[in-house]
Each structure stands twice: as structure tokens, then as C-alpha cells.
Structure 1
Amino acid sequence: MKRKLAFWVLFCGALALFGIQTMEAFGVVSFHADFFQKKGTIVVDAGHGGEDGGAVGINGAVEKDINLAIALELEKYLKQNNFNVIMIRDTDSAVGDQSLGTIAERKRSDTKKRLRIVEETGECILISIHQNHFSESKYSGTQVFYSGAREESGVLAEAVRQNIVSALQPENKRENKQAEKNIYLLYNCHVPAILVECGFLSNPQEAEKLQTSSYQKEMAAAIYNGLIDYLQANQDTGK
């Protein structure tokens, strides 16, 4: 009996050390960060915050709150697996200079500060969390945008998209899009970077799901699993 117990202790230790995949709650792939030679730091950006609430859902849900909830779950999964994580915000707060006189000035300051945090981090991966909104309520589904400055951004976006579709949205046919100038953070970002529009707050069914903690955890898990797939692919190709 003691020999069997000792074997399982050693076996479980090997799983953690060498990154063998196991499944946790909400389908999270447990993959120890030390397995990756060039894992870098993961910068997690919960969009909006403070006076900038972002989109307001058809059910009254506020985008900034959902963004933060998903971002905090993602941080938890990353830290559980020994990744270095920088949270651009981890409370309901703005990031920029709040002493500026107008909302427009404060918003510009906020956006530039987010980019500056990424730049000061050095070689890293940026994952920005947002929610979508449209004038017609029929639209739904996650869409992933990616920076055009680094080829890897598109690969990361596709890995995340595939995981979200397979785990949560099998009917979602939305394609990834390269960020244009209107998405300032991604357009000016020179590290692998994506922005995940997790769903449409203008869609009644999706807005309700996005407000539940279980769906927020599942969304964070799918994003995390996509990141792991991306890192594995880079490891296999030696990039």
C-alpha cells in the first residue's frame, strides 16, 4: 500500500513538473508554465473601468464589470499554473490620469497608459477582455481581434477562437479580425496581442449568460486553454 501511495505522489509531481495535461473544473487544462522555454509574461487587460463603464446590456449589465470578472478568473488559472501575470486593472478603476478636465482626455490617457504598461513589460503576451454591443439584438457570439504587428497574434487569436467555439459556442461562425486604428491598444501593440469580445450584451440570452459566474469561469477557461494551445504550438516549432 505504501509503495502504491509513493508511486502516485511521484506521478502527480511529474505531471506538474513536465506539463502533462490534466483537466480541472470548467475544463481548464493544467499545464505548468515552466514547461515553456519562452512563456514570457501574460498581461491581462480588463477593458474599461471606473467612470468608463463601456457597453450597457439589454438587461442592464455593465461591460466593465463582466470584463473584470472574466479577467480575474483568467488570472487565477494563469497563476495556478505558475505564469507571470500583470493585471492592467484588478478593481473597478480607471487606469489613466483622472485629474484631466474632460472625459475624452481621461479616456485617451487611460488607453495610452494601458499600452505603456505593455511596452514597459517587454516581451509578453497581451489578452484584452471586452464585450460587444450592436443596435440589433439578434447578433451573438465571441469575436477575436488581433494585432497586425506580430504574426503570432493571429495564431493566438485562432487558438482562442477554436477553444471558445468547441467549449461554449458550437454555432459561432465568426471569423477573427485584424485590428484597425480604431482599436488603439492592439493597433499600436508590438507583442503578440489579442482582444476578445466575449459576447453581445445587446443579445438577451447572451447578456444573461455573461452575467453568471459559471459562464464567466468557462469563458476564462476557454481563453486560457487557447493560450496553452498557442504556447504548445510555438514550443513544437521552436519559435
Structure 2
Amino acid sequence: MIILIRKRHVAYVVLLCCFVAGLSAVLWHGNAAFTAAFAPGEEGASPVVVVDAGHGGEDGGAVAADGTVESGLNLAIARRVRDLLTFAGVPTTVTREGDAAIYDPGSATLREKKVSDLHNRVALVNELPGAVLLSIHQNSLPSSPSTRGAQVFWNRQEGAEELASSIQESLNGAVNAGHEKKAAQVPSSVYLMKEITAPGVLVECGFLSNAAETEQLKDPAYQTKLAAAIAAGVLNSDKR
């Protein structure tokens, strides 16, 4: 009986994977706008979605009341987004693989490391023809601990607003029930989003100032749910 159940379970997983692969193929190859947006550039290079896990290393970003650090959550969600998009056939790369910033070796102070890290992220994106930036972050608003929900911001480059709106719609349906939000233009003070020459969106996955949402954000299953919603928004967008 145990063997039979396991066989059925394996068969179910295989069928599920085939279904997801088929659906991904339809979304990837069957959408004319999708195919056009990811057509090779003038130099024949394939465009790439750059999945950016915000902060890293000494720069932990926002910190929750229980000590949860933003950078680790960003990395966990970014890895899942990268894996899902890769599975769907979307060319992807990441700005960091582990819990470390990408500053130059000569950087000494924390400020120098932060500045160097941001410059290197900008350079990474701008050196990829046709790149699209997808930056993963967590929000925090200690003055309003009840505020919660995922929100997406776009930069001023062509196609970014459409991509942000698609991801926001997906997140509203998946995790923002009762707390629906609208995608918005990113503030000009966000250096990375201002300096890149590619379409870019910044996803604030939740509020570390909200204790209940922090617990959700720490849950691997919820991280996967967020990543799936973000990936679905990318796949359903006219700018991918």
C-alpha cells in the first residue's frame, strides 16, 4: 500500500510538472508581445531578467522587531523567483547568490561598501542589452505597524509601468486580499532604479514593521507563494 501511494504520488508530481511546463510554454511562446519583447537585440544578445536581492552582507536593510533582517528574506524570495522564471524558459541572472554585497575589494567603510555595491548593480544591469530589472525588497513603516501588503514600483524606462502593473495585479490576487495596492512610480531617491537604463521594477514584498506579516515572510511556503505571484506577473506582462 505504501509503495502504491508513493507511485501514485510520483505520477501526480510528474503530471503536475508536465502541466506546468506546458502552461509555461504557452505563456512564453504563445504571447506575441512576450516573444517580441525578448527578441535578440541588435548585437544578437538574448535579453535577460536580472533578479536582484536587495541589500546583503553588512547592509542588512530593514530589521523587524524580532530581529529578522531584510536581506535574508530578499535573497530567499529572489532565488525562488529566479528558479521559477528559469523553469518557464525565461533567461535570468542574479545580482548576488549569497548573503554578501557586491562591493569592490578596496571599499573600507560601510558607506563606501554601499556606494560601491549600488554602482556595481547598476553596471551589471546596464551592460546587458535588453535587460529587465526585478529588484526584491521588504518594506517597513514603524509609525503604522498595522500597514501590510506587497507593492510594486516602476522606474521611468519604457515598459516598466506595464510590468509593475502586471506583477501588482498578480500579488493582489495571491497575497493582498483585503489590502490591495496599486503599482506606483518609484521615488527618484532610489539610486539603482534611477541610474539603470533598462526597465526596472522594485517589489516590496511586505512590511517588517507588521509582526504578523513578518511571520508570514519568514515562512518558506509563503516565500514560494510570493515568488510564484511575481513570476506569474512577469509571464503575463506585455513587457517581459
TM superposition score normalised by structure 2:
0.81
In the other structure, the counterpart of 2:9 is none
The answer as to whether partners of 1:34 and 1:82 remain within 8 angstroms in 2 is no
1:149 aligns with 2:148: no
1:117 aligns with 2:124: yes
In the other structure, the counterpart of 2:231 is 224
Q: 1:165 to 1:134 in 2, by over 3 A?
A: same
Letter of the structure 1 residue corresponding to residue 151 of structure 2: Q
The answer as to whether partners of 1:161 and 1:226 remain within 8 angstroms in 2 is yes
In the other structure, the counterpart of 1:38 is 37
In the other structure, the counterpart of 2:194 is 187
Q: 1:18 to 1:201 in 2, by over 3 A?
A: closer
Q: CA RMSD in A?
A: 2.2
**What is the alpha-carbon distance in structure 2 between the residues aligned to residue 64 and residue 74 of structure 1?**
15
> How many percent identity over aligned positions?
35
Q: Which runs of 5+ in 1 are unaligned?
A: 1-8, 21-30
Secondary structure at the residue paired with 1:121?
A: coil
TM superposition score normalised by structure 1:
0.82
**What is the alpha-carbon distance in structure 2 between the residues aligned to residue 34 and residue 85 of structure 1?**
19
Segments of 4+ moved more than 6 angstroms: none
**What is the alpha-carbon distance in structure 2 between the residues aligned to residue 176 and residue 16 of structure 1?**
30
* Worse overlay, 135-144 or 217-226: 135-144
Secondary structure at the residue paired with 2:37?
A: coil
**What is the alpha-carbon distance in structure 1 between the residues aligned to residue 138 and residue 186 of structure 2?**
16
The answer as to whether partners of 2:160 and 2:239 remain within 8 angstroms in 1 is no
**What is the alpha-carbon distance in structure 2 between the residues aligned to residue 55 and residue 195 of structure 1?**
15
The number of residues matched between the two structures is 211
In the other structure, the counterpart of 2:25 is 19
In the other structure, the counterpart of 1:199 is 206
Secondary structure at the residue paired with 2:92?
A: strand
**What is the alpha-carbon distance in structure 2 between the residues aligned to residue 189 and residue 73 of structure 1?**
24
* 1:124-158 Cα deviation digits (max 9, x unpaired): 111000001112211111111110132x1111111
* Worse overlay, 135-144 or 44-53: 135-144
* Worse overlay, 140-149 or 112-121: 140-149
Q: 1:182 to 1:17 in 2, by over 3 A?
A: closer
Q: Which runs of 5+ in 2 are unaligned?
A: 1-14, 39-46
User: C-alpha displacement at 1:234, in angstroms?
Assistant: 5.1
